[in-house]
């Protein structure tokens, strides 16, 4: 069970990184992959829009990845405490 949860968080983190890197390519968000990733990534990424960009560089995705890792570790810790291996 812990392995499955870890893999799901890893997949979401990879999707988040791919979505952020797509901003370097013009028109990438209008592709099928860009639209799909936008639907699953934007609701989570919108939680971090309160972080102001510095020199036109947004650090919200970086904070979002750190938060995702924190949530993953907390969830796995709870699963271990509850004995849900």
Residue closest to 41 by CA, chosen among 50, 33, 52, 31: 33
pLDDT single digits (tens) 51-73: 999 998 999 999 999 999 999 99
- 5: exposed, middle or buried (C-beta count within 10 Å: 0-12, 13-18, 19+)? middle
pLDDT single digits (tens) 10-33: 999 999 999 999 999 999 999 999
Q: Do the beta carbons of residue 56 and residue 78 sit within 8 Å?
A: no
State the sign of the Cα–Cα–Cα–Cα dihedral 67, 68, 70, 71. positive
Q: Report the phi/psi class of residue 57: left, alpha or beta, with left for phi > 0 and alpha for psi in -120 to 50.
A: beta
Domain that holds residue 68: 2-82
In total, how many domains does the chain have?
1
pTM for the full model?
0.89
């Amino acid at each position: 069970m812990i392995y499955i949860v870890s893999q799901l968080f890893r997949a979401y983190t990879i999707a988040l990184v791919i979505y952020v890197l797509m901003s370097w390519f013009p028109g990438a968000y209008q592709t099928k992959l860009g639209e799909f990733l936008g639907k699953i990534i934007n609701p989570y990424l919108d939680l971090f829009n309160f972080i102001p960009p510095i020199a036109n560089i947004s650090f919200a995705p970086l904070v979002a990845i750190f938060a995702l890792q924190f949530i993953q570790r907390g969830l796995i810790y709870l699963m271990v405490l509850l004995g849900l291996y």
